[in-house]
Amino acid sequence: MSWVTTAMLSVLAASYGEADAGRKVFNDAGIGTRGVSCAHCHATVEDENAGDGLVRAGHTLFGVAKRGYWRGDTKRKSFATLNEAVDECVKLFMGTDGLEGADKITLAAYLKSLSPKKKARPDLDTGLVPNNDYDRPEFRGGDADRGRPLFFAACHSCHPNGGAGIAPTLEKSSVADIAKKVREGNGLLRGSRQPGQWMPSFGRERLTDQQVADIAAFIQTRR
């Protein structure tokens, strides 16, 4: 084997090892202070219908390293690099300042390994309407039977069985409270993040209004 081939192979081996370590960082709920991992909120498969069936607030990160921009920042003014776009999630949702050292390097290698081809940034449909009142007909009269599997796919990881986990119990939440929290999360989408809060919002392309209504109906049966 020529030294060139040997050198190339060892670089490849190093990057495979790094991507492998980065996959563990991606799934590690201990990298921040809130017990939540990247995998709680992002799938990594190309076609989410071919994934594990969970409904996550964020988009799949398949192809993310080859996207032209992140977080809707088309001119890359706020997030010039993928690492900066990742750190924004770490700050907003995971409760620490940003990744450092080996975690940062291996996670970047893993995200790169998920990006064999160019994939357009998925469009966000936030589901926000100008009317701030969530006591609306579209969220009332949901079907608890349809809501049950949706609840376990979308909410159970943080609100186990509707009780307290890494997030609070939903015991006292009304249908309108639930619809508001699902659509607005920590409030950032309306431009003012509620201090200390970090629930991500689910846009309409993640859960339709009907599905939010069904989940809310199911939660009402758990009291």
* CA–CA gap between residue 193 and residue 179 (Å, rounded): 17
* CA–CA gap between residue 223 and residue 220 (Å, rounded): 6
Alpha helices of 121-173 — where are they, by DSSP H?
Answer: 144-154
Distance of closest approach, residue 170 Cβ to ligand HEC, in angstroms = 5
Distance of closest approach, residue 104 Cβ to ligand HEC, in angstroms = 10
Task: Check if the beta carbon of residue 144 is closer than 8 Å to that of residue 152.
Answer: no
Give whichever of 8 and 125 is closer to ligand HEC, judged by the CB atom: 125
Give whichever of 15 and 27 is closer to ligand HEC, judged by the CB atom: 27
Helix axes 144-154, 209-220, angle to 10 degrees: 100
Distance of closest approach, residue 166 Cβ to ligand HEC, in angstroms = 6
Distance of closest approach, residue 185 Cβ to ligand HEC, in angstroms = 6
Helix axes 82-89, 101-113, angle to 10 degrees: 110
The torsion of the CA quartet 13, 15, 16, 19, rounded to 10 degrees, works out to 160
Binding interface with ligand HEC (CB under 6 A):
36, 38, 40-42, 57-59, 61, 64, 67, 70-71, 85-86, 89-90, 93-94, 121, 124, 154-155, 157-159, 167-168, 170, 172-173, 177-178, 181-182, 186, 197-200, 202, 215
Task: Check if the beta carbon of residue 207 is closer than 8 Å to that of residue 55.
Answer: yes
Distance of closest approach, residue 46 Cβ to ligand HEC, in angstroms = 14
Give whichever of 57 and 217 is closer to ligand HEC, judged by the CB atom: 57
Give whichever of 137 and 195 is closer to ligand HEC, judged by the CB atom: 195
